[in-house]
Chains A and B, each alone.
Chain A
Amino acid sequence: MIERTPVLNIATHAILVVGLLIAFLPMWLVFVAATLTIEQINNPPISLLPGSELIANLTAAWNRAQLGSKMLNSLFVALLVASGKIAIASLTAFAIVFFRFPGRMVVFWMIFVTLMLPLEVRIVPTYAVAANALAPAQAVLEVVGIAWLWQVLTGVKLALEWNLLNSYTGLVLPLVATATGTFLFRQFYMTIPAEIVEAARMDGARPLRFLRDMLIPLSKTNMAALFTIMFIYAWNQYLWPILVTTDRANYGTAVMELKRLIPTSASTGGGTPDWNVAMAGCLIVMLPPLVVVALMQRYFVRGLIGADK
């Protein structure tokens, strides 16, 4: 469109540059802080240009928070959540869209409702479930009388127990148990023309073959999108991991360690706060999701917009 608006164009660029400053300045300050010495950072005003201590600070943060094993844990959890979500979501959506079975709509709504309540608002009881994931099953068995029958027959009290605290399962499963991706896949499957389904049936394709040969190849983009956002979502989790992990040495995730890096009077023993090391740790911890986004920019935006509907 022909627009002769030189003043407005300059204003537009100015506004967007301010936007860029908002997006980058905080992280630039973090980066600069991570390159300074402890003396430099505690002598305001601090420089806006990087210093020379980046490697030293990164090393210090890495060692202090034992980030090596923590980053591996985070990576493992994020990959499990992302791939578990894709698998479960695509299968459920496949069943809901392409099958008719009694209670299908009930199942649909049961999963749909979970969108309404994020993990954080039901954190206390979810924690209790994690302490024994089979408690629900135990309760069901008790109510229907199987537990009683078992005790009568075997003389042993039936006590199902599966403790998820301090385990990858505990870190992963509750994060997978939501409807986010299911609806992304459902919406996508609904756009698949009915003719393709009918053609596949005419060709004698069985359901699983149809899933493998048609749906999965067609939904690669959606899978990539869901993978991207779930990876970031899982990596960035904070509340759930600090609850379910008491054994930090073995099961702690990287994001959990952020708080430990913050200098407090307790951690520095009343000494000078070493924000430079904290900022170096912060850089390390937030890097993997940024790499994923940089590599998958297109899918990231697509996934966000699709998943939240």
Chain B
Amino acid sequence: MAEIAIRQVRKSYGRTEVVHGVDLDIGNGEFVVILGPSGCGKSTLLRMIAGLEDITAGEIAIDGARVNEREPRERGCAMVFQNYALYPHMNVADNIGYALKVAGVAKAERARRVAVVAATVGLDGFLDRRPGQLSGGQRQRVAMARAMIREPKVFLFDEPLSNLDAKLRVQMRIEIRRLHRRLATTSVFVTHDQVEAMTLADRMVVMNAGHIEQIGAPAEIYHRPATRFVASFIGMPPMNLLPARATAPGVVALASGARLMLPPGWVMTGGDVEVGIRPEDVLVDAESGDGNRLPFTVEFIEELGAGRLAHGTLEGIDFIVQLPAGASMTAGETHVLTLGSNALHLFDAGTSRRCRFDAASPMAGVMQVPVVGLEHSVQASSA
């Protein structure tokens, strides 16, 4: 069990810097998932913790001790690789027990511990097989067992589930979660799969282009994305983002001229913003209710089985709506959407960061403003 402290860590290959000064603290026993698109530097960060990559600048400490110069074996980390990296010439028992063999553990003791760990991951009966004779899921288990047997201070997972088929991935996800419940070992898990990240993480770290965009609990990241990137990266389908311009306190105008009323409390520093709303937060043909009502032209409907998505345009901007059960909508129709005031997210177009929301702002109050393009006025409610 260990804490990991990452301070201003940078990584360059030659002149190209791929990780630009990352700060991250991982608590004892915590399960942290680093999520990001490919090439964002998440694996590099993980490999720097493991000691597989040099740290160009900054510091990584495990349990308070700087490990920058330590070899991988001196760091107390175990790693599960993306392609499992099982030794093809050793059988399962030897694969799992190799670390003990290197450490000089006696043969009988080694066999005993291998048997225990193998039983934990459900591999008993396979100990004599070669990796080539195992299924993908079984190989995954061997890789896990190999990491577990050393009883490491830290587990590192480098996209370990990405080579499995969808069904097995869900199953292994649950098993990893269950193992972590039991062992409570500090874990860092790298993935590009947001569902995996959401379901596994105590805390999530969203990375993009060598920066950390946001750190937080999965729900917090979903509900309060800190940047435009997080907003668009998390959520399936992605959040709708509408470029707009602040015209008056609490009012922004879209390019079409249509105005959106914002709940008071948003602090806009610049003029240009982006207004975001998740497809599942939009109300369709609502009789009443608070929020901005705008016409939406349907282009096509995507059937997902459990639900449906309507793709179309809203004030000339591509827009996606998740349809509630029973809502009827067909291509070519126009419907009125209600963008609930409290469901809106606001991002500064210049910095791409979420605008501050301050409920105690002096602008709090009720305003009535006609909205262009609609005959009725919209009531913007107080927060």
Contact = CB atoms under 8 A, between A and B. Distances in A.
A touches B in complex, CB < 8 A: yes
A1 B72 contact: yes
B220 to A, nearest CB: 35
A1 B72 CA distance: 8
Contacts of A3: 71
**Interface footprint category on B:** under 10
A4 interface: yes
A10 interface: no
Interface residues of A, number: 4
A2 interface: yes
A8 to B, nearest CB: 12
A292 to B, nearest CB: 31
B24 interface: no
A171 B268 CA distance: 85
Contacts of B53: 1
A249 B104 CA distance: 71
Interface string A1-25: 1111000000000000000000000
Contacts of B70: 2
Contacts of B51: 1-2
A2 B67 CA distance: 10
A4 B72 contact: no
B50 to A, nearest CB: 9
A4 B52 contact: no
Nearest to B70: A2
B69 interface: yes
Contacts of B72: 1-2
Interface string B55-77: 00000000000001111100000
A4 B68 CA distance: 11
Contacts of B52: 1-2
A1 B52 CA distance: 4
B366 to A, nearest CB: 62
A1 B75 CA distance: 13
Contacts of B54: 2
Nearest to A4: B71
A243 B74 CA distance: 65
A1 B54 CA distance: 6
A4 B67 CA distance: 12
Contacts of A1: 51-53, 71-72
Interface in B26-55: 51-54
Contacts of A4: 69, 71
Contacts of A2: 51-52, 54, 68-72
Nearest to A3: B71
B136 to A, nearest CB: 25
Point out which of A1, A2, A3, A4 has the most chain B C-beta atoms below 10 A from its C-beta: A2
Interface string A31-57: 000000000000000000000000000
Nearest to A2: B51
A4 B69 CA distance: 8
Nearest to B53: A1
A1 B71 CA distance: 8
A4 B51 CA distance: 11
A59 to B, nearest CB: 48
Nearest to A1: B52
Nearest to B47: A1
Contacts of B71: 1-4
Nearest to B75: A2
Interface in B192-224: none
A176 to B, nearest CB: 40
A171 to B, nearest CB: 47
A1 B79 CA distance: 14
A2 to B, nearest CB: 5
A154 B68 CA distance: 94
A2 B70 CA distance: 7
A31 B54 CA distance: 43
A3 B52 CA distance: 9
A238 B71 CA distance: 53
A7 to B, nearest CB: 14
Interface in B65-94: 68-72
B222 to A, nearest CB: 37
B47 to A, nearest CB: 9
Nearest to B71: A2
A126 B53 CA distance: 58
A3 B51 CA distance: 9
Interface in B271-297: none
A1 B53 CA distance: 5
A2 B69 CA distance: 7
A4 B52 CA distance: 12
B53 to A, nearest CB: 8
A142 B252 CA distance: 99
A2 B54 CA distance: 6
B60 to A, nearest CB: 11
A269 to B, nearest CB: 63
A271 B51 CA distance: 68
Interface string A75-107: 000000000000000000000000000000000
A2 B71 CA distance: 5
Contacts of B68: 2
Nearest to B48: A2
A172 to B, nearest CB: 45
A2 B72 CA distance: 7
B357 to A, nearest CB: 44
B293 to A, nearest CB: 50
A4 B72 CA distance: 10
Interface in A196-210: none
Given A1-B52, A1-B53, A4-B69, 9 more contacts: A1-B51, A1-B71, A1-B72, A2-B52, A2-B68, A2-B69, A2-B70, A2-B72, A3-B71
Q: Which 10 A-B pairs have the closest CB atoms?
A: A2-B51, A2-B71, A1-B52, A4-B71, A3-B71, A2-B54, A2-B70, A2-B72, A4-B69, A1-B72
Interface of A: 1-4
11 contacts: A1-B51, A1-B52, A1-B53, A1-B71, A1-B72, A2-B52, A2-B69, A2-B71, A2-B72, A4-B69, A4-B71
